[in-house]
Amino acid sequence: MAFEHRDEHIDDGMLLLQANIDDMNPEYCSYVSDLLFAEGANDVYWVPIIMKKGRPGVMLNVLVDEAASGRMEDIIFRETTTLGLRYLRASVHRLGREFYEVETAWGTIHVKAGFHQGKLVQFAPEFKECEQAAKTHGVPLKQVYDEVRRKFLEERVNEG
Amino acid sequence: MAFEHRDEHIDDGMLLLQANIDDMNPEYCSYVSDLLFAEGANDVYWVPIIMKKGRPGVMLNVLVDEAASGRMEDIIFRETTTLGLRYLRASVHRLGREFYEVETAWGTIHVKAGFHQGKLVQFAPEFKECEQAAKTHGVPLKQVYDEVRRKFLEERVNEG
Amino acid sequence: MAFEHRDEHIDDGMLLLQANIDDMNPEYCSYVSDLLFAEGANDVYWVPIIMKKGRPGVMLNVLVDEAASGRMEDIIFRETTTLGLRYLRASVHRLGREFYEVETAWGTIHVKAGFHQGKLVQFAPEFKECEQAAKTHGVPLKQVYDEVRRKFLEERVNEG
Amino acid sequence: MAFEHRDEHIDDGMLLLQANIDDMNPEYCSYVSDLLFAEGANDVYWVPIIMKKGRPGVMLNVLVDEAASGRMEDIIFRETTTLGLRYLRASVHRLGREFYEVETAWGTIHVKAGFHQGKLVQFAPEFKECEQAAKTHGVPLKQVYDEVRRKFLEERVNEG
Amino acid sequence: MAFEHRDEHIDDGMLLLQANIDDMNPEYCSYVSDLLFAEGANDVYWVPIIMKKGRPGVMLNVLVDEAASGRMEDIIFRETTTLGLRYLRASVHRLGREFYEVETAWGTIHVKAGFHQGKLVQFAPEFKECEQAAKTHGVPLKQVYDEVRRKFLEERVNEG
Amino acid sequence: MAFEHRDEHIDDGMLLLQANIDDMNPEYCSYVSDLLFAEGANDVYWVPIIMKKGRPGVMLNVLVDEAASGRMEDIIFRETTTLGLRYLRASVHRLGREFYEVETAWGTIHVKAGFHQGKLVQFAPEFKECEQAAKTHGVPLKQVYDEVRRKFLEERVNEG
């Protein structure tokens, strides 16, 4: 049974914010990521880079809707050590998305499925739910993950 | 003797497709690259990145003519686990290009030369041919490579 | 005021366990790290590497006392996809350690100090406490961190 | 049905050879890896590192039985640009290993399984066979891979 | 006392030049960076990437004003081995900037401060001056750096 | 003409010191490397790693003779932020080494050659001299480098 449907679409008007940082305590990184996600970032990731004088730095990347970029910039300037940031215009193509429920010996786990031109091309068990089931039931995480995938596929095979 | 000439030029209307992937078996990467190159990608490369919750992910990058981007997206959605991808507009400046033949003790090897504003700025032995010569004749690859470069330079010195 | 004293010392009999992984969903990494730390690992870290056929893999590293290495191996085999692991013998030189308390406008924060041959060479505010203070009081994390360092240094200057 | 059995065991007397390289054409890397594997390396991998003057170099790593290390050194000195290499002693813990056959709509695919203390902890479809099936039958590689895993698990569930 | 004031502003019309390089001696990298900075690059950095056939390459990135991009391209084509480069349009948001002087036991050190919407959000001791002071006076670099930060903060606390 | 001869040999009794650092300003890295080299390190390099909570850290590596390791540890503890370090025993195999002189249009440049079992396997122009020649004469660095290699090879071909 699928629910939480979203159509495949393209978001124009996205920005990719980037800041190269070579003088910040790397302990701050996850804290900064969490704040950016909480304020509406679509994605946050860090790229190891080599900067001026061969310094091992990191490049912060934030993908965000143009309308929310001001909030992102405030966080980046307040919480990192950068003196500037750049932004590149981007468009994002998002697959259609539906959620399914799969019953397992360790409870119900959701599966997120992705559709391209009406055809299912992706399916992924919800990681947090698998993690929780693994902890609660003392089974390997990969066993939970594999079992959810197996049952999801089995149901689709049976449905024909 | 040069052949296969191509003029220096700029391609506007290129796209850089990017997909951040943190839930895919990395074994798939070279297979995906090969498919993308086969379908017309100008370049494909992977960047190690750090994603949500500190996961070591990879960012797939595909540089492609806008006209071919649909085919690339189909492959990316079908063969990787991503639920979306972004694209950035790019222009590509390509050097003028000519191919030369160099005679060596291990056979003829081609050299690809690059021209900027009419001046030779790059030359590179064709890697596959050097590799093949090294295997066939049981000599170190770097010796083949160095010899091709030496003879190419020698001919140019002699030509004045 | 210092407490929780530990002398500088060298631990021989440590092992560095390493497993190269190129076929695992990277989502599992933080879960695996947490389990290993919980079972007694001294350190856990991941190194981006390039494996067979140019695959972007990760190398899991676990630093652990030889006595606890069996528990680590059980977790690695149960929770990752590796078919083997290697171990290297290592000695670990640990600084003398003391904890101090620093009073700030946002509450008491601990500072961990490191001593080499009786001399203070390191001091670091407890990250989790700074993070908590930043969240609770709505101030930038780096401001909390800097202020704790400033006050720690100031007290030492005043003590002469 | 399982075959090609190998018991779980520990190989002492392994060496990890390492060479830091900052002046070599990176095109050579895969060629060097292939030669080392062909001559008996147990594993070969490359680590991106930052060397003297901030140069982006690579560290070549070769895991090999001590008896074969001379052959590896010959290849490394002949085919790379390094002026030296170091070796660290290592022990390798290898899981018990068995191969299974799984029937799919695209033919028989082998699965390599790993056993720790007699218990199955790993199973992985043979990558090359999945790749070949995907190419031959024009299906996504991940679909082949997933189906092999599903059927392997299904058989084990049914066997109870 | 602050001087060398610059207002916060956004530079549109910047370009990010990128060239993927897998056949160049990495020794050249710092030389190339220095030339690019000397000719007006706003930033130069290198990203470790995985290219065709799994080769460990580097991506050169140069952030530059569009007006100066021709000079950058000349250097890149003349000094690296690339046969092409791409450029992406970017805007750069630069903080307001002021320089302060801090007196220490090892002489005067400047601090660069960054302002976002009129509010001080960054301050960083001038690295070269700290480095010089550390060398001249035989003190740890981090001690110089920390002391400059401490005194800068202390003055601001006292100023209220 | 060769001079500064050194025989091929193996140094046992080397140590590889390693410190994982996730709370240090990366600006310090090159300063720390320089100090370690100045005090006798055989090699110093940094590896980008992913640490606790997914922080992008760096692993400092110092290869050093056991007799000099105390001096290295003093520098590491004094100049970085680490609270400990580990060391692994290593042996280093160093090629025989000789220096040659090559005459070019830009002056004499030295070439360092490496010998394995009496056979020349490596040769590399002295980087600093090439760099200086390139700057002084306004020619591309790669042209100087290539020309030195070409002339070195030419002389060897002529010598038979």
Tell me: the pLDDT tens digits for D43-62? 999 999 999 999 999 999 99
Look at residue E3 in the predicted model and tell me its pLDDT: 60
Give the single-character DSSP code of E146.
H
Task: For residue B132, give both structure tokens.
Answer: 């093949």
What percent of chain C stands above pLDDT 90? Answer: 92
Residue F55 and residue B54: Cβ atoms within 8 Å? yes
pLDDT at D115 over 70: yes
Residue A88 and residue E16: Cβ atoms within 8 Å? yes
C-alpha–C-alpha distance, residues D150 and D152, integer Å: 6
The average pLDDT across A90-115 equals 97
Task: For residue A60, give both structure tokens.
Answer: 């912060």
pLDDT at C159 over 80: no
Look at residue D159 in the predicted model and tell me its pLDDT: 74
- Please give the residue of chain B at the shortest CA–CA distance from F55: B54
Predicted confidence band at A160 (pLDDT cuts at 50, 70, 90)?
low
Mutate to test the interface with F, among C8, C9, C93 (most CBs of F within 10 A): C93
Predicted confidence band at C85 (pLDDT cuts at 50, 70, 90)?
very high
pLDDT single digits (tens) B43-92: 999 999 999 999 999 999 999 999 999 999 999 999 999 999 999 999 99
* Contacts of B among chains (3+ CB pairs under 8 A): A, C, D, E, F
List the domains of chain E with CATH numbers: 10-93 (3.30.70.1380), 95-159 (3.10.20.300)
- Please give the residue of chain F at the shortest CA–CA distance from C117: F74
C-alpha–C-alpha distance, residues F95 and B8, integer Å: 44
Residue E147 and residue C154: Cβ atoms within 8 Å? no
Look at residue C151 in the predicted model and tell me its pLDDT: 95
Look at residue B158 in the predicted model and tell me its pLDDT: 79
SS3 state at B14: strand
List of chain A residues whose C-beta atoms are within 8 Å of the C-beta of residue D55? 54
pLDDT single digits (tens) E64-113: 999 999 999 999 999 999 999 999 999 999 999 999 999 999 999 999 99
Look at residue C88 in the predicted model and tell me its pLDDT: 98
Residue D27 and residue E56: Cβ atoms within 8 Å? no
Residue B55 and residue C24: Cβ atoms within 8 Å? no
The average pLDDT across B128-155 equals 96
Predicted confidence band at A2 (pLDDT cuts at 50, 70, 90)?
low
pLDDT single digits (tens) A106-130: 999 999 999 999 999 999 999 999 9
Look at residue D48 in the predicted model and tell me its pLDDT: 96
Name the residue among E20, E47, E86 with its Cβ closest to that of B14. E86
Structure-token match 């429920």, residue found? A101
Residue A93 and residue B84: Cβ atoms within 8 Å? yes
Look at residue E2 in the predicted model and tell me its pLDDT: 57
* Contacts of A among chains (3+ CB pairs under 8 A): B, C, D, E, F
Predicted confidence band at D143 (pLDDT cuts at 50, 70, 90)?
very high
Residue B141 and residue D28: Cβ atoms within 8 Å? yes
Name the residue among A47, A52, A83 with its Cβ closest to that of E47. A47
Mutate to test the interface with F, among E25, E49, E50, E126 (most CBs of F within 10 A): E25
Name the residue among D28, D142, D145 with its Cβ closest to that of B142. D28
Name the residue among A56, A140, A150 with its Cβ closest to that of D153. A150
Structure-token match 């390190």, residue found? F41
| Residues 6 or more apart whose Cβ sits within 8 Å of residue F68 | F39, F40, F41
Count CA atoms within 13 Å of residue B37 on its CB side.
Answer: 12
Mutate to test the interface with B, among D142, D146, D148 (most CBs of B within 10 A): D142
C-alpha–C-alpha distance, residues B34 and C54, integer Å: 12
What percent of chain D stands above pLDDT 90? Answer: 92
Residue B140 and residue D27: Cβ atoms within 8 Å? no
- Pick the more confident residue, F157 or D104: D104
Look at residue A4 in the predicted model and tell me its pLDDT: 72
Residue C31 and residue A81: Cβ atoms within 8 Å? no
Residue E86 and residue B88: Cβ atoms within 8 Å? no
Backbone dihedral angles phi then psi of residue D21, each to the nearest 5 degrees: -130, 120
pLDDT at E159 over 90: no
pLDDT at C12 over 90: yes
Instruction: Tell me the average pLDDT of chain B.
Output: 95
* Contacts of C among chains (3+ CB pairs under 8 A): A, B, D, E, F
pLDDT at B38 over 90: yes
CA distances from B52 to A141, C27, C71, E34 (A): 18, 9, 28, 34
If we measure between CA atoms, which residue out of A25, A30, A19 comes closest to residue B55?
A: A30
The average pLDDT across F119-128 equals 97
pLDDT at E5 over 90: no
pLDDT single digits (tens) F19-63: 999 999 999 999 999 999 999 999 999 999 999 999 999 999 999
What percent of chain B stands above pLDDT 90? Answer: 92
| Residues 6 or more apart whose Cβ sits within 8 Å of residue D56 | A50, D22, D48, D49, D50, E26, E29, E46, E48, E58
Name the residue among A48, A79, A141 with its Cβ closest to that of C28. A141
Look at residue D158 in the predicted model and tell me its pLDDT: 79
Predicted confidence band at A158 (pLDDT cuts at 50, 70, 90)?
confident
Structure-token match 């494909």, residue found? B44
Angle of the B28-38 helix axis to the B69-79 helix axis, nearest 10: 160
Look at residue C58 in the predicted model and tell me its pLDDT: 96
Look at residue E104 in the predicted model and tell me its pLDDT: 96
Look at residue C2 in the predicted model and tell me its pLDDT: 57
- Pick the more confident residue, C122 or B160: C122
The amino acid that residue D110 corresponds to is H
Instruction: Tell me the average pLDDT of chain D.
Output: 95
C-alpha–C-alpha distance, residues A112 and A117, integer Å: 17
Name the residue among D79, D127, D131 with its Cβ closest to that of B141. D79
Residue F30 and residue D54: Cβ atoms within 8 Å? yes
Mutate to test the interface with E, among A22, A50, A58, A69 (most CBs of E within 10 A): A50
Residue E150 and residue C154: Cβ atoms within 8 Å? yes
Predicted confidence band at B19 (pLDDT cuts at 50, 70, 90)?
very high
Predicted confidence band at F3 (pLDDT cuts at 50, 70, 90)?
low
Look at residue F144 in the predicted model and tell me its pLDDT: 97
C-alpha–C-alpha distance, residues A122 and B51, integer Å: 19
pLDDT at D108 over 60: yes
SS3 state at C49: strand
pLDDT single digits (tens) A29-54: 999 999 999 999 999 999 999 999 99
pLDDT at A1 over 60: no
CA B62 to chain CA centroid, Å, is 11
